[in-house]
Amino acid sequence: MSAICSLTLHELSALMDKGEVTSEQATQSYLDRIGKTDPKLNSYVTVNAQGAIEQAREADKRRSRGEKGPLLGAPVSIKDVMATKGLRTTCSSKMLENFVPPYDAFVVKRLKDAGAVILGKTNMDEFAMGSSTENSYFGPTKNPWDTSRIPGGSSGGSACAVSADLCAGSLGSDTGGSIRQPAALCGIVGMKPTYGRVSRFGLVAFASSLDQIGPMTKDVTDCAIMLNAIAGHDPMDSTCASEPAPDYTKGLDDGVKGLTIGVPDEYFVEGMDPEVEKSVRSAMSALEEAGAKLKRISLPHTKYGVPAYYVLAPAEASANLARFDGVRYGYRTPSATNLNEMYMKSRSEGFGQEVKRRIMLGTYALSSGYYDAYYIKAQKARTLIKNDFVNAFKDVSVIMAPATPTPAFGIGEKSGDPLGMYLSDIFTINLNLAGMPGVSVPCGFSSSGLPIGAQILGNFFDEALLLRAARTLEKALGITGRKPVI
Amino acid sequence: MSLSSEEVRHVATLARLALGQDEERKYGSQLSAILDHISQLGELDTSSVPPTSHALKLSNVVREDAAVQPFDPASWSSNAPSADHGHFRVPKVLD
């Protein structure tokens, strides 16, 4: 039955509609495959075996009563940064090793209402801080295309699980590229929606003005299906957009005729991997052949994205992570004689290296005497970076660029060099600062067989347009069916 | 830009982190390198640029002040390292 696991969400739901397979069978196939394959990949932190089977039986009952829906009975996974009621949610941290949320995140509730089956919680960089999924208390996740390499991060567990057919689709979160970068490095589709398009209620906060949840899927149609389920207003998140979400599966096949695609000079820099450049440029040509027009543009403040981000994101993180004090939930040191010592030791023992590094950086940037020089300066740089995009979208419909400067790098290659690791996000970070949507789509493979991803970036709330362009690219390239051999 | 070990200790105290000597040294040099990279922002003339705290225009959201009980209070203390009769227990605050 392992062939079931290679199906997309829409293929699986068509089979379930025809009665050729039940959700329970599909769920059991995935659980079997996880049991057999995941020890080599470590994409899951927690497998929800019993709960998943119960949810699958419930979905099968709903279907037998005549209910339909593309996610009804679909086995999916959730990055372990989103609260799942009764199912532990660790953020891949010792701090939350035993945390069992008393409620579901908005997106989890939406998926459950749609009948999705939660197979389990996927591995990630601790508190979503990282680009390689090496910063996990539960050990690194491997890239299914080459297990000596990283899957990207921080949603590396989700990207790996989708790519290796260990779930039919997944939800990730993207603060500086954490959906799009691992999606590119694992050869799947990953979308960061517009800031506010998807509620953050129940998402453990990293950098609240940048965090956004989005789908990670086997193809573009699945991405639209999952976005349909999670987009929309939620009164529990005061930053959530109130405009109604359209049906993202409509118009996917309408093509790109008449679209102008911006090609930013700053995203094709000297020193970038030539195979990545070649692959992304041929993806652009494919869209040109499909009727789009390419136009060179400039996003002049691009290089200030990484420095601005590494002030703003750690500053917000240092405030958000102040809540982990060993009092109400999370890890508490066994050896403290007074309250202050308890705070200090619990935090020092409960957080990993990268998390502490970013808390330190953020605390420094916000500290008395440095606030204007770092924090306000970075917020002003953010304005310039955002305006670059706003100006560009006066002339072009979407922007196209590589998702990453190189294919997946080796495990351990950058773990001793935090700055080098930060610079691996140069092509994804700026979009978060601008708050705009972007989707990463597989566009080729390196000569050593590693996936390469192209990124399509759009104006605020232009997710439907991005998906249409992505779908056009997917059809033109025809590489979606290629699977890693594990 | 180089952070002294005194500065590293000061920031760690503000962040309520107790660092070992090795961590102190390592963070000192790593944070210095990152701050060097960040100092590029100084090249930008931002004298007439307003700061952006959020990408989208946000306005205050108000709703009826209606009392609801979304969660069973007992479910909150179930994750506490130490709880007693619906209260969180902590080590003594004053010596």
Q: Which ipTM did the prediction report?
A: 0.95
H and E: helices and strands count for chain A: 16, 11
> B30 and A347 in contact by Cβ < 8 A?
no
- Statement: residue A28 has pLDDT above 80: yes
Q: CA A453, CA A283: separation in Å to the nearest integer?
A: 10
Tell me which chain A residue has its CA closest to the CA of residue B33: A419
Cβ contact A119:A34 at 8 Å: yes
Give the side-chain half-sphere CA count within 13 A for A258: 4
Minimal C-alpha gap between A419 and chain B (Å): 6
**B window 18-77, beta carbon within 8 A of A:** 18-19, 23, 27, 30-31, 33-35, 37-42, 44, 46, 49-56, 58, 61, 63, 70-72, 75-76
> B38 and A310 in contact by Cβ < 8 A?
yes
Indicate if the alpha-carbon torsion angle A97, A99, A104, A105 is positive or negative. negative
- Taking contacts as CB-CB distances below 8 angstroms, the residues of chain B near A241 are 56
- Statement: residue A155 has pLDDT above 70: yes
Residues B18-38: tens digit of each pLDDT: 999 999 999 999 999 999 999
Tell me which chain B residue has its CA closest to the CA of residue A355: B17
Cβ contact A330:A324 at 8 Å: yes
Task: Give the residue from A439, A413, A475 showing the smallest Cα distance to A183.
Answer: A439
> A360 and B72 in contact by Cβ < 8 A?
no
* A375-379 mean pLDDT: 97
Q: CA A329, CA B75: separation in Å to the nearest integer?
A: 11
Q: Residue B68: which pLDDT band, with cuts at 50, 70 and 90?
A: confident
> B55 and A195 in contact by Cβ < 8 A?
yes
Indicate if the alpha-carbon torsion angle A148, A190, A258, A460 is positive or negative. negative
Q: Which residues contact A378 (CB under 8 A, 6 or more apart)?
A: A307, A308, A309, A311, A312, A315, A365, B38, B41
Considering only CB atoms, A379 lies closest to which of B16, B30, B53, namely B53
Q: CA B53, CA A245: separation in Å to the nearest integer?
A: 25
Tell me which chain A residue has its CA closest to the CA of residue B76: A102
* A7-17 mean pLDDT: 97
- 8-state DSSP, B42: G
- Statement: residue A23 has pLDDT above 60: yes
Indicate if the alpha-carbon torsion angle A209, A435, A127, B77 is positive or negative. positive
> B30 and A357 in contact by Cβ < 8 A?
yes
Q: CA A126, CA A159: separation in Å to the nearest integer?
A: 16
Alpha helices in A329-440 (DSSP H): 339-350, 353-366, 371, 377-392, 418-422, 429-434
- Taking contacts as CB-CB distances below 8 angstroms, the residues of chain B near A103 are 70-71
Count of C-beta atoms within a 10 Å radius of residue B7? 15
Task: Give the residue from A398, A406, A446 showing the smallest Cα distance to A426.
Answer: A406
| Mutation site, A129, A360, A368, interface B, largest B CB count within 10 A | A360
> A342 and B37 in contact by Cβ < 8 A?
no
Whole-structure pTM value: 0.97
Q: CA A206, CA A320: separation in Å to the nearest integer?
A: 6
* Helix, strand or coil, per DSSP, at residue A347: helix
- What was the pLDDT predicted at A269? 81
| Mutation site, A240, A333, A351, A364, interface B, largest B CB count within 10 A | A364
- Statement: residue A1 has pLDDT above 60: no
How far CA A60 is from CA of A87, A119, A442, in Å, comes to 22, 16, 33
Considering only CB atoms, A418 lies closest to which of B8, B34, B75, namely B34
- Taking contacts as CB-CB distances below 8 angstroms, the residues of chain B near A347 are 15-18
- Taking contacts as CB-CB distances below 8 angstroms, the residues of chain A near B92 are 337-339
* Helix, strand or coil, per DSSP, at residue A374: helix
Question: What is the dihedral angle through the alpha carbons of A89, A91, A96, A99, rounded to the nearest 10 degrees?
Answer: -10
Q: Which residues contact A351 (CB under 8 A, 6 or more apart)?
A: A93, A94, A95, A126, A321, A324, A359, B17
* A35-56 mean pLDDT: 98
Q: Which one is predicted more confidently, A44 or B74?
A: A44
Considering only CB atoms, A307 lies closest to which of B40, B50, B91, namely B40
Please name the helix (run of DSSP H) or strand (run of DSSP E) that holds residue A446, with its range, or none: none
Q: CA A246, CA A371: separation in Å to the nearest integer?
A: 41
> A384 and B17 in contact by Cβ < 8 A?
no
Indicate if the alpha-carbon torsion angle A46, A87, A98, A358 is positive or negative. positive
Quote the longest CA-to-CA distance of chain A: 70
Cβ contact A313:A297 at 8 Å: no
Q: Residue B1: which pLDDT band, with cuts at 50, 70 and 90?
A: low
Q: Which one is predicted more confidently, A415 or A129?
A: A129
Residues A172-226: tens digit of each pLDDT: 999 999 999 999 999 999 999 999 999 999 999 999 999 999 999 999 999 999 9
* A428-441 mean pLDDT: 98
Mean pLDDT of chain A: 96
> B76 and A304 in contact by Cβ < 8 A?
no
The residues pairing with A117 across neighbouring beta strands, listed in sequence order, are A75
Kindly state the tokens that stand for A195. 């800031």
Which active-site residues of A does the annotation give?
A: 79, 154, 178
> A337 and B91 in contact by Cβ < 8 A?
yes
> B91 and A342 in contact by Cβ < 8 A?
yes
Task: Give the residue from B28, B31, B30 showing the smallest Cα distance to B4.
Answer: B28
**A window 406-445, beta carbon within 8 A of B:** 418-419, 422, 433-436
- What was the pLDDT predicted at A429? 98
Residues of chain B above pLDDT 90, percent = 64
Q: What share of chain A is helix, strand, coil (3-state, %, to 5)?
A: 45, 15, 45
Cβ contact A68:A17 at 8 Å: yes
Q: CA A90, CA A98: separation in Å to the nearest integer?
A: 7
Please tell me the least confidently modeled range out of A246-250, A347-351, A420-424: A420-424
Q: Which one is predicted more confidently, A415 or A210?
A: A210
Kindly state the tokens that stand for A280. 């992304």
- Statement: residue A276 has pLDDT above 80: yes
A303 reaches B (C-beta below 8 A): yes
> B80 and A336 in contact by Cβ < 8 A?
no
Quote the longest CA-to-CA distance of chain B: 58
